[in-house]
Structure 1
Amino acid sequence: MRLPKPNIRLPRLPLPFRKRRGGGDPDDPLDEADAGAPPPDDLERGLDDEPAPRKKGRWKRVASAILTTLLAVAVIGGAGGLVGWLMVNAEHTESMREIQRPQLTVNILNEGEEPEPNSSAGPTRETAQAEGAAPSGDDAPAAADGATEDGTAAKDGPEDGPSAVAASAPADGVTLTPVDPALMEVREDARLPIIAIDGRQPWSTYARPFDVDDTRPWVAVMVTNLGLNRRETDAAIQLLPGAVSLSFSPYANNLDAWLEAARSAGHEVFMDLPLEPLDFPRDDPGPSTLLTSLSTADNLNRMEWVLGRAPGYVGVATWMGSQFTTVEDAMMPVLEGLKERGLMLVDSRGSSRSIATELASSIQLPRAFNNRFLDATPSISAIDRALADLETVAQEQRVAIGIARSLPVSIDRIQRWTGNLERKGIVLAPVSAIADRQRLR
């Protein structure tokens, strides 16, 4: 049974969010719907849809957030880059500033005050004539026809060779074995070291004598890249103890005279062997650099040029070589060539990955390696710390080697430091004395 539908009419309630369209009762918001008018736009979108103005505002906020994020990333990235640059280059910047800092102090005289005579300088032409002494250094007259005073041909001008003071006798009385023709192979203009018929080898013959029975810790120092600057080379020869070993650049002029001056002062000498660094050719050790890209024959020819520059040295010290010393195929023929000529190798370890020392040991080539770069940062405090570290290594391992460049600040700090070794119970030894005594890694 169907019940009739009640005829109940609900009252109309005004809705505030409805807009009136067209005609009808202005007080009746539902008048449009009752009249068959299309529903308003807000009802078509549904209750979950946002109105268009709100969508536009939201995109503006998103865009603003993106721009703010990009700006923050740029600022943080720039600050991070600056901090990174400082961390990488701060030490180099400090080093360059230290190198450029004047090393001499000049006293300003009062009016009428006479300067004290410089005892380290040789007599000038005027004083030599007045006192009957021969002038020396840059004031010395040149020999006729390019000859030196002893009649031998001069390869370079007087500014390229050692001063007369540099050739003085050793202060400690230790003399080295003179250059022996039996240990030399003359080939055109080159004088290459060889093993003598009686078995004597250049490295042991030209080494500085040393008491190997001394039970105190041994510490050795080598100054490298000498011969390119006259003042610095003279200072190393004259001011440093004879037990400090000196290594000369093959590109130096008048190498014969430099090596003879150093050996006359009691220093055993080495030759720098330029090897390819990692950042070659940005860092270029020179035209005779041994390269991993060259053939073995080319590298051996370049090494022979270096070895033939002057006689009387103990061996070679690797100069740079952070790339070359890590490649066995390139390094081994060089080491075998050094052994055939009776020389010693000093691995400066320009790279912690260097295998030169291990390869040398495998073929019984006399070898030593660098424990500390003394002037990686060429400042007084940094060099003093490195020297103190070198003492610690020597006390812990009984032997240690430090390598420095021929910088005025390096020579000064090494000179002061060596004067205090005796009271610390440490002996200064030549590098040759430490051959084959360091523990391999």
Structure 2
Amino acid sequence: MKLPSIRLPFLKRQPKTAEQEGGGDPLDDAPAKPRAAAASGGRIGRLLVGIATGVLAVAVIGGTGALVGWLLVNAETTESRQVLRRPQLTVPILAEGEAPTPNSSDGGQPVAAGPHADKDGQNTAATDPTATGPAGEAAGPAPMPEVVSLDGVRLAAVDPTLLETKDEAKLPIIGPDGRQPWSTYARPFNLDDSRPRVAVVMIGVGFGKDITEKAITLLPGAISLSFSPYVRNIETQMARARQAGHETLLDLPMEPLDFPRDDPGPSTLLTSLSLVDNLNRLEWILGRAPGYVGVTTWMGSQFTTVEDALMPVLQGLRQRGLMFVDSRSSSRSIATELASSIQLPRAFNNTFIDQTPSAVTIDRALASLEATARQQRYAVGIARPLPVTIERLSRWAGTLEGKGIALAPISAIADRQRLR
């Protein structure tokens, strides 16, 4: 490679003297010192030119090497981020004789998603077959079957148009008519109710047949149940919970600060994993069972503080029409703020109800939850499936009506709480 020449302005060539131009006697001692000085200056100039050229060559080669190294290290992450940003369209393949689901391009009007509507707490927009569009035509698809719960509340049945099959797993998706799983599968609630609202999410549900059955049958239907993704018969248990009137969610295991001493399980999202690996784990969790409204963070005191790891997960949840509940196992969690920034429906925990599993401390935590609801209009508590917790929650729920507080499913708190 030919190195560039560098001219140094401070090493100007000295003009020749008259004696030099005239070809003076080389044996004459008079011009000896000027010739020596000139020779010395020339050597210094050549030395400086060589040093400058070497430095420039090192900078060029080093910069090129650094760029190549950066590309090799970050290529996978960069490619994954670009995949996430690409618009995606899921097109259902119809079986022979199956009619396509009407959508907004057929002249109708998209159905307003969600079961929260009129003063009776029912979603008339989604279930009224007489609702019409601007031209008097039927608006949206035919009503889906409903699950009539034990307490008389009607929940939407699992809708095949809100599912995509991927590697034998059924993953939630936004429907072709714009309906989203989080609002479609929500327990109906009267949003005109102006009373302070309290929501309770019981996490880690599904382990132990007896305690799971107690949580499903003894707790009011307005208390939401979040199931562990590691439960073997999770689909059956979640369907059983919905039949009892409970809104259901999935626990989303995330890296805690003291991982691996505290290990949320083999599908835990980790800051040390690549973006692709974390999204693969997320898909495995989301495909465990259908009919849920969203996810609740399980542990995550480390993962929920790292934006680069967390944001792609939240974007994946939003693209699938789900709700996100931040248990806030760390006060440093930025999950709720990031969810709000991308319009992901969200709620966050105000009080861990049974951190100390005793009747006295649970009652005290529930009183604190009531106080938060009165001050801020909305409050969320996180509980575990423990016998003492189920017993105290059941008693407490029966007192709220007389206190002027509404017990609400977690979906009725979505985007209501003020950020810190």
Range class of TM-score, shorter chain: 0.5 to 0.7
Matches within 5 A, 1:89-104: none
Q: Are residue 373 (structure 1) and residue 352 (structure 2) matched?
A: yes
Q: Are residue 405 (structure 1) and residue 397 (structure 2) matched?
A: no
Give the ranges of 4+ consecutive aligned residues of structure 1 lying more than 3 Å apart after TM superposition: 168-171
Where 1:392 maps in the other structure, the secondary structure is helix
Q: 1:302 aligns with which of 276, 281, 286?
A: 281
Name the aligned partner's letter for residue 192 of structure 2. Answer: D
Contact 2:218–2:394, Cα closer than 8 Å, also in 1:
yes
Matches within 5 A, 1:285-300: 285-300=264-279
Shift of 1:187: 1.5
The residue that corresponds to 1:101 in the other structure is none
CA displacement 1:124-152 (0-9 Å, x = unmatched):
xxxxxxxxxxxxxxxxxxxxxxxxxxxxx
Matches within 5 A, 1:246-261: 246-261=225-240
Gaps in structure 1 of 5+ consecutive residues: 1-167
Gaps in structure 2 of 5+ consecutive residues: 1-146
The residue that corresponds to 1:352 in the other structure is 331
The residue that corresponds to 2:370 in the other structure is 391
The residue that corresponds to 2:214 in the other structure is 235
Query: Distance in 2 between the 1:321 and 1:175 partners?
Result: 34
The residue that corresponds to 1:435 in the other structure is 414
Query: Distance in 2 between the 1:189 and 1:171 partners?
Result: 32
Query: Distance in 2 between the 1:190 and 1:256 partners?
Result: 12
Q: TM-score, normalised by structure 2?
A: 0.65
Q: 2:193 aligns with which of 188, 199, 214?
A: 214
Query: Distance in 2 between the 1:370 and 1:283 partners?
Result: 21
For the aligned residue pairs, the C-alpha RMSD in angstroms reads 1.0
Contact 1:228–1:253, Cα closer than 8 Å, also in 2:
no
Contact 2:189–2:409, Cα closer than 8 Å, also in 1:
yes
Shift of 1:219: 0.4
Where 1:176 maps in the other structure, the secondary structure is strand
Query: Distance in 1 between the 2:417 and 2:305 partners?
Result: 20
Query: Distance in 2 between the 1:407 and 1:206 partners?
Result: 26
Q: Are residue 273 (structure 1) and residue 252 (structure 2) matched?
A: yes
Where 1:351 maps in the other structure, the secondary structure is coil
Query: Distance in 1 between the 2:341 and 2:159 partners?
Result: 29
Where 1:317 maps in the other structure, the secondary structure is strand
CA displacement 1:268-323 (0-9 Å, x = unmatched):
10000000000000000000000000001000000000000000000000000000
The residue that corresponds to 1:173 in the other structure is 152
Where 2:202 maps in the other structure, the secondary structure is strand
Contact 2:150–2:243, Cα closer than 8 Å, also in 1:
no
Shift of 1:188: 2.7
Name the aligned partner's letter for residue 277 of structure 2. Answer: D
Identity rate of aligned residues, in percent?
A: 70
The residue that corresponds to 1:205 in the other structure is 184
Matches within 5 A, 1:11-22: none
Name the aligned partner's letter for residue 272 of structure 1. Answer: D
Query: Distance in 1 between the 2:188 and 2:283 partners?
Result: 27
Name the aligned partner's letter for residue 374 of structure 1. Answer: I
The residue that corresponds to 1:182 in the other structure is 161
Name the aligned partner's letter for residue 381 of structure 1. Answer: V
Q: Are residue 362 (structure 1) and residue 337 (structure 2) matched?
A: no
Query: Distance in 1 between the 2:168 and 2:370 partners?
Result: 43
Shift of 1:172: 2.4
Larger Rg: 1
Contact 1:192–1:311, Cα closer than 8 Å, also in 2:
yes
Shift of 1:169: 6.2
CA displacement 1:385-440 (0-9 Å, x = unmatched):
00000000000001100000111111111001001100011110000000000000
Name the aligned partner's letter for residue 351 of structure 2. Answer: R
Matches within 5 A, 1:121-132: none
Contact 1:175–1:264, Cα closer than 8 Å, also in 2:
no
Where 2:200 maps in the other structure, the secondary structure is strand
CA displacement 1:82-127 (0-9 Å, x = unmatched):
xxxxxxxxxxxxxxxxxxxxxxxxxxxxxxxxxxxxxxxxxxxxxx
Where 1:222 maps in the other structure, the secondary structure is strand
